[in-house]
Amino acid sequence: MNYKRPLTFALTFLIFQFISCIVICKKYITSVNKISKKEYNLSTYPNNIINLFTFFFLYWLLAFIFYSLFHKYDESIYVISFFGIIMWGAWDFFPICVIQDGYKHSFIFFFDMFITGGVCIGLSAYIYKNYYNILSKNIYILFMIYATLYVIFFYTCFIINREGTENNGLVKLGDSLNLHKILPYITL
């Protein structure tokens, strides 16, 4: 089995997913806080290490599911984008439709559904389909970009509410790199 094909697709998919997640993270979590009437803080959550690994595992699983769908449907970018919108829609329609006042925050949930779920997946498939040879030769660079974005994403989640983050190694690393000064320019 050629492991480079699914790995290249997965890394391309994950890079675009984490870029989109970094852009909407603060707005998304703020919306969840307002809807749930609780102050969400991933850093002080009792199982934050488990969440890091769960998020890692589930996103990789999604990447391989989309890779399988991409090849099953004869590499149709439109089909895979539609599946992405359906999957993200199943998650994002819940707070809009079911939770009281969820509709007030519908912009960020629709953004997540259509941009993260549709556009990012379609863009990943398009780039994979047309530039596989270049991507597969630079798989290590893709992995470094992915790992960097993964760390930045969780740093962004951790600093939304800084209470209890003074001993968090990821927050200390991000602060020493001055990420808190750069993030306002790239997030909603």
Mean pLDDT in consecutive groups of 10 residues from the start of the chain, 188 residues? 89 95 88 78 67 83 93 88 93 82 85 93 95 95 96 88 78 89 85
User: How high is the pLDDT of residue 126?
Assistant: 96
Instruction: Say what the pTM is.
Output: 0.89
Is 178 a domain residue?
A: no
Is 27 a domain residue?
A: no
What's the rounded Cα separation, in Å, for the pair 102 and 34? 9
User: How high is the pLDDT of residue 54?
Assistant: 78
Is 176 a domain residue?
A: no
User: How high is the pLDDT of residue 85?
Assistant: 95
Is 82 a domain residue?
A: yes
CA distances from 1 to 10, 69, 145 (A): 16, 17, 25
User: How high is the pLDDT of residue 146?
Assistant: 96
Is 39 a domain residue?
A: no
- The total number of structural domains in the chain stands at 1
Is 84 a domain residue?
A: yes
Q: Which domain holds residue 16?
A: 4-22+49-158
Is 34 a domain residue?
A: no
Is 65 a domain residue?
A: yes
User: How high is the pLDDT of residue 134?
Assistant: 96
